[in-house]
Amino acid sequence: MKNVFLIITFLGVISSYAQENTFPEGTKPASTNVIGAQYPRIDSERKAYFRINAPAADSISVSLGNLALTKDEKGVWTGVTKPLDPGFHYYTLKINGVDVDDPNSETFYGMSRIASGIEIPEDGVDFYDIKDVPHGNIESHWYLAKSTGNMRLAYVYTPPGYDKNTKERYPVLYLQHGMGEDRRAWGNQGRANFILDNLIAEGKAKPMIIVMEDGGIAQGFGSPKRPQDKNFWDSFEDIMIKDLIPNIDSHYRTLSDSSHRAIAGLSLGGTQTYQISQSNLDKFGNIGIFSAPFGFPGIETGYNGLLKKPEEFAKKVKLFYVSMGSKEGARSGRSTHEELDKAGIKNVYYEAPGTAHEFQTWRKSLYGFAQLLFKD
């Protein structure tokens, strides 16, 4: 009986392999492809090779460098990008002017849509690879947010051993995604769980819980607010302070004092981190700002004037970490760091070499930040 399934599967495999049985030398399928998809492929120079069978299409381009593919006499479209930065990149295809996802790629919520993504390996960098070490879990955690009246979903990373060490309590990092992304981004695109698994296995980071929520972006149930709604921004602060933190502290074995709680975010999530942390220093004793060009409240008035009182600020904030990619403008982090330094506010600054406003910058930022967190 099972042969019927085998035959069906075979036919699919044969048809997808028949179109191409030799591949450009030195290339491998991207790890972000769906199972079995041979394209896009990546070579050792970090160029990506595309190949799409579409005889009836009149134009196909790839958003990575706006690469126009060319069509051969059989209707197969091919093209090769310039060398791409290492790390994860969103992309889409444009087929006859319509922006669509690449059927060969796994999909990722980003750019306010479901997008394709391509992972470009970085030589010698494996801190976000999955390894044979104890693994924590990312779990879906539904809870009723009274401030919005709807059920909301947070993704929660619990570190290796959390289920076994039932007497142990853990510090918590609230980790925010960027604009047009959601709770899935730090796990799927950022590989936050593998970064922590590996750091914890090497003894470089304390086991911690990571909570990933939706930054106030409307969720698909109930009647949530959208950015254009009144008090949208305040309402995420309400969700975080009045609903999410108490819920996490009651459902997970947390250490609930401010020195064992951190908030960090990338881009828009960094802006939110500034906003929420400055009015809630009793809740957050550790702050991480990754590539946030907007939102630094300034030395004069920020953090209720505490940035002018370095000693008082240091009593409340154990770690103030600012980062960006070296291809970003100074405003995304370096200028904040310099202002903080000038004001005598202790801070840690990191600049990811050779990367832009992308996840490789933020993976490396988390890698550095997590190693400094919760060191008693």
Query: Quick one: which of 10, 257, 279, 371 contacts a copy of itself (CB under 8 A)?
Result: 10
- CA 129 vs CA 91, 161, 192: distances in Å: 22, 20, 10
Q: Which of residues 180-209 bind a copy of itself (CB under 8 A)?
A: 182, 193
Q: Exactly one of 67, 84, 125, 151 binds a copy of itself (CB under 8 A); which one?
A: 151
Helix or strand holding residue 248 (H, E) = helix 245-251
Per CB under 8 A, the list member of 20, 72, 82, 130 interacting with a copy of itself is: 130
Gyration radius from the chain CA atoms: 23
For the segment 108-127, give every residue that binds a copy of itself (CB under 8 A): 109, 112-114
Of residues 82 and 146, the one with the C-beta less far from a copy of itself: 146
Ranges within 252-311 binding a copy of itself (CB under 8 A): 252, 268, 271, 275, 294-296
Q: Report 234-253 residues binding a copy of itself (CB under 8 A).
A: 251-252
Task: Pick the binder of a copy of itself from 21, 22, 70, 166 (CB under 8 A).
Answer: 166
Q: Is 330 in the site for a copy of itself (CB under 8 A)?
A: no
Alpha carbon dihedral 355, 358, 364, 368, in 10-degree steps, equals 110
What is the total count of residues that contact a copy of itself (CB under 8 A)?
A: 76
The number of beta carbons lying within 10 Å of the beta carbon of residue 245 is 21
- Could you say which of 97, 203, 230, 282 contacts a copy of itself (CB under 8 A)? 97
Closest approach of a copy of itself to the CB of residue 262, in Å: 22
Among 21, 22, 25, 226, binds a copy of itself (CB under 8 A): 226
Question: How many CA atoms does the CB half-sphere of 216 hold within 13 Å?
Answer: 26
Backbone angles phi, psi at 324, to 5 degrees: -165, 175
CB of 35 to a copy of itself, least distance (A): 5
- Interaction between residue 15 and a copy of itself (CB under 8 A): no
Between 192-201 and 359-372, two packed helices, what is the crossing angle to 10 degrees?
40
Q: Which of 23, 43, 57, 283 binds a copy of itself (CB under 8 A)?
A: 57
- Which helix (H) or strand (E) segment holds residue 311: the answer is helix 310-316
**What own/partner pairs with CB < 8 Å and gap ≥ 24 does 330-335 have?**
331/293, 332/291, 332/292, 332/293, 332/357, 333/289, 333/290, 333/291, 333/292
Kindly tell me which residue out of 21, 66, 73, 98 binds a copy of itself, with binding defined by CB under 8 A: 98
Q: Which residue has the tokens 């400094």?
A: 372
Return the range that interacts with a copy of itself (CB under 8 A); candidates 139-147, 258-266, 313-321, 353-361.
139-147
